[in-house]
């Protein structure tokens, strides 16, 4: 048996079409949604991601600003820019691409972003609202993961979901969103004993550990939905997920590829968040 492929690229295209329509309508009413992306330094992966975000803004009709700052930027300079963007009326979403250079304290930068413009969903106010189940801007990658699971047609309610990885940007928020969808959630991490045995109980398996090809077929329950959040650049220049795709697809019912899986969805959810933030800031949602 071989799994059905969940194409994040295709799902993204469908969602982006409807976002573009809404952006056009808002623009005609004089409320064009705007996103500011801030990139500090020259991290090669970040440069690719930021370029893809900029491209998505243009394709969908958003107003977009990209601020590319030198690797030597001081914390004060970055905080001054965030403050300016917080007050700028044509900007509804602010994203400071992580990781930041060593001289800058990431937490103080995230804390400085106005929560209503925090389209990454990383500000403590948004994290807290997610935890409680109140309205918030959801972190992009976790929101994309849920969307991809829903597109399989497999219902989440009542299922056992196993999440491998406990980071603040993926593992923890994904587990909260899965609970909100009425899954029973188990979290695994680097210190988990008998991880394969636990993972094999998951009707849904979400993998976000940052180790290339670590999760093979022995971790996959037959028929499971496998979502690979990993994005690892191999020595040969190729991209690999955290899941050993060739081995896992022999057991999974559905599986996401890398690239073309979660990555494009991360960007689509960013666009969706920016649209939502703009509507809220204009009193339209």
Catalytic residues: 53, 97, 120
- In terms of DSSP bridges, do strands 239-240 and 232-233 run parallel, antiparallel, or are they unpaired? antiparallel
Minimum CB distance to ligand L37 smaller for 215 or for 231: 231
In the complex, the smallest distance separating the C-beta of residue 227 from ligand L37, rounded to whole angstroms, is: 13
The site for ligand L37 (CB under 6 A) is made up of 48-49, 52, 95, 97-98, 120, 140, 231, 239, 258-260, 263-264, 266-267, 270
Nearest residue to the partner ligand L37, using Cβ: 263
In the complex, the smallest distance separating the C-beta of residue 194 from ligand L37, rounded to whole angstroms, is: 30
Minimum CB distance to ligand L37 smaller for 202 or for 261: 261
In the complex, the smallest distance separating the C-beta of residue 206 from ligand L37, rounded to whole angstroms, is: 15
Number of neighbouring beta carbons within 10 Å of residue 67? 17
Minimum CB distance to ligand L37 smaller for 217 or for 263: 263
End-to-end Cα distance, the chain:
46
Neighbouring residues of 131: CB distance < 8 A, sequence distance ≥ 6: 176
In the complex, the smallest distance separating the C-beta of residue 263 from ligand L37, rounded to whole angstroms, is: 2
Minimum CB distance to ligand L37 smaller for 148 or for 195: 148
Q: What is d(CA 271, CA 285) in angstroms, rounded to the nearest whole number?
A: 16
Residue ranges of alpha helices (H) inside the chain are 8-28, 44-60, 75-87, 106-112, 124-132, 140-151, 171-180, 195-199, 245-248, 262-281
Task: Please state the φ and ψ torsions of residue 104, each to the nearest 5 degrees.
Answer: -110, 135
Give residue 27's Cα distance to chain centre.
Answer: 26
Neighbouring residues of 59: CB distance < 8 A, sequence distance ≥ 6: 16, 20
């Amino acid at each position: 048996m071989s799994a059905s492929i969940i194409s994040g690229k295709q799902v993204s295209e469908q969602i982006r079409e409807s976002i573009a329509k809404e952006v056009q309508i808002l623009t005609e009413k004089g409320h064009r949604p705007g996103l500011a992306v801030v990139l500090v330094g020259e991290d090669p992966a970040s440069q690719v991601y930021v370029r893809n975000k900029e491209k998505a803004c243009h394709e969908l009709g958003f107003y977009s600003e990209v601020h590319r700052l030198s690797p030597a930027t001081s914390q004060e300079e970055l905080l001054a820019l965030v403050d300016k963007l917080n007050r700028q009326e044509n900007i509804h979403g602010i994203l400071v691409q992580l990781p930041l250079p060593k001289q800058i304290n990431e937490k103080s930068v995230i804390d400085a972003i106005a929560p209503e413009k925090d389209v990454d969903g990383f500000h403590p106010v948004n994290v807290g609202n997610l935890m409680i189940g109140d309205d918030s801007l959801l972190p992009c990658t976790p929101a994309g993961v849920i969307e991809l699971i829903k597109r399989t047609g497999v219902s989440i309610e009542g299922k056992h979901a196993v999440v491998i990885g406990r980071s603040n940007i993926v593992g923890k928020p994904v587990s909260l969103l899965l609970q909100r969808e009425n899954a029973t959630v188990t979290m695994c991490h680097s210190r988990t004993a008998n991880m394969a045995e636990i993972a094999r109980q998951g009707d849904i398996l979400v993998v976000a550990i940052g180790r290339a090809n670590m999760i093979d077929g022995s971790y996959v329950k037959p028929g499971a939905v496998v979502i690979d959040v990993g994005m690892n650049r191999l020595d040969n220049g190729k991209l690999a997920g955290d899941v050993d795709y060739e081995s896992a697809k022999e057991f999974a019912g559905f599986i996401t590829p890398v690239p073309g899986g979660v990555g494009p969805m991360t960007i689509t959810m960013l666009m969706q968040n920016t649209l939502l933030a703009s509507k809220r800031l204009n009193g339209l949602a």
